[in-house]
Amino acid sequence: MPKITIWNEFLHEQSNDACGELCRKHYPKGIHAYLKKALGPALEDCTIRAVSLDMPENGLPDKVLDATDVLVWWGHMAHDKVPDALVDRIQRRVLGGMGLVVLHSGHMSKIFRRMLGTPCTLRWREIGEKERVWTCDPAHPIAQGVPETFAIEHTEMYGEPFGVPDDAHVVFMSWYAGGNVFRSGVTLQRGLGRIFYFAPGHETLPIYHQPEVQRVIANGIRWCVPANGVGPAPGCPHEKAPFEPVQ
Ligand code: ZN
């Protein structure tokens, strides 16, 4: 049974401003708790745990991380509060096969930038404009059951250029009413681990309530489940003896 851990910095939900109020309206117990509940039916063969930055060891002590097959990451205002030592541990585990699903503003998280090795920058605008998501690779497992195209009526714009490496495979592309476009759903592999990034999901908008968005995230989690479990990150073993006789 695949073990999924949804990590959230869980700060917007607790902030005493207009943004916090909107975030609590859509996600009263936090984005992590909402996703755990919303994705449950689509991932009924998985165990899902929701954790947050304010928990002991930032929500990811060894006993949790070492029991995680796919880690889902939502962060925005506290990327720098995630200790480098934790990023090291997550990186090792991804290289050993753990899947990593990074959502929305997690594009600037330490772990995403570490895994991709590029700035992961983009341009953005928050005026609640319409977004139209297009499925670019309908044959991809993450696109199964997802319409050819669907609209998000009010969103935060994320636009190109997106500072990701050339091996980012585009599954979804977004167009925004203001004219921008963005590679809003991309997959990568690092070591033995699969990575999926999906852009929709601004904290003050009910985007995670949308069935198409939930379907994409559930599919992304499933695609990232390691087929052979998680082991040590690949090393550089010295082959002392040849496999076949050498004359
Ligand atoms: Zn946002």
Residues 107-140 pLDDT 10s? 999 999 999 999 999 999 999 999 999 999 999 9
Mean pLDDT across the chain, nearest whole number?
98
Q: Which residues contact 166 (CB under 8 A, 6 or more apart)?
A: none
Beta bridge partners of 187: 169, 196
Domain coordinates in residue numbering, the chain: 3-120+184-224
| Residue range 87-99: mean pLDDT, rounded | 98
Angle 31-39/211-224 helices, nearest 10 degrees? 80
- For the chain, give the percent of residues with pLDDT over 90: 100
CB 101 within 8 A of CB 213: no
Encoded tokens for 34: 């909402």
C-alpha 200 to ligand 1 mean position (Å)? 8
Q: How far is the CA of 110 from the centre of ligand 1 (A)?
A: 17
73-79 average pLDDT score? 98
**Residues with a beta carbon under 5 angstroms from ion ligand 1:** 105, 156, 202
Distance (Å, rounded) from C-alpha 51 to C-alpha 39?
15
3-120+184-224: CATH architecture: 3-Layer(aba) Sandwich (3.40)
Q: Which residues, listed in sequence order, are joined to residue 155 by a DSSP beta bridge?
A: 129
Q: Which secondary-structure segment (H or E) carries 19?
A: helix 18-26
Counting Cα atoms < 13 Å in the Cβ hemisphere of 160 gives 11
Share of the chain above pLDDT 70, in %: 100
The pLDDT of residue 227 is 96
What is the distance in A from the centroid of ligand 1 to the CA of 234?
35
Ligand 1 centroid distance, CA of 237 (Å): 43
**Confidence category of residue 197, pLDDT binned at 50, 70, 90:** very high
pLDDT at 139: 98
**Model pLDDT, residue 109:** 98
Is residue 81's pLDDT more than 90?
A: yes
Q: Which two tokens stand for residue 53?
A: 């930055």
Q: Kind and range of the H or E element at 95?
A: helix 84-95
pLDDT tops 90 at residue 50: yes
